[in-house]
Amino acid sequence: MMGEDRFVIIYNTFAEKEYIESQKWYNENQAELGNDFIKEVEDVLDLMEKNPYAFQLKKHQVREAPVKKFPFQIVYKIYPSKKEILIISIFHTHRNPKEKHKRK
């Protein structure tokens, strides 16, 4: 049940695709690892819904939240008037860091 102080998470198309493909890749390479990946990402998203300002502000009003146990960052932007958080990327940290802020 969502409290009135929580934000709503929405994904851009690219971030949603990254999330699904990453989970699939982990499951293909080690049984159940994709489920562990989802759990870790969902833990960060839950914290983000409760307190979207908890994570470090980067450039262009975009924030980054690290995913524990996995080399990923959740790149997002907050829209306070709508009580929304837009997930821009579920970004693998071994990729070119310049790419993570290009999808707004």
- What pTM was computed for the model? 0.84
Domain ranges of the chain: 8-94
* CB-CB contact of 65 with 48 (8 Å): yes
Rounded CA separation 26/87 (Å): 21
Class of domain 8-94: alpha beta
Comparing C-alpha atoms, which of 64, 82, 85 is closest to residue 74? 64
Whether the per-residue pLDDT at 71 is higher than 90: the answer is: yes
CA dihedral sign, ordered 40, 41, 44, 49: negative
pLDDT at 95: 62
What pLDDT does residue 19 have? 95
Q: Which residue has the higher pLDDT, 78 or 56?
A: 78
Q: SS3 of 63, please?
A: strand
Residue 25 — pLDDT band, cuts 50, 70, 90? Answer: very high
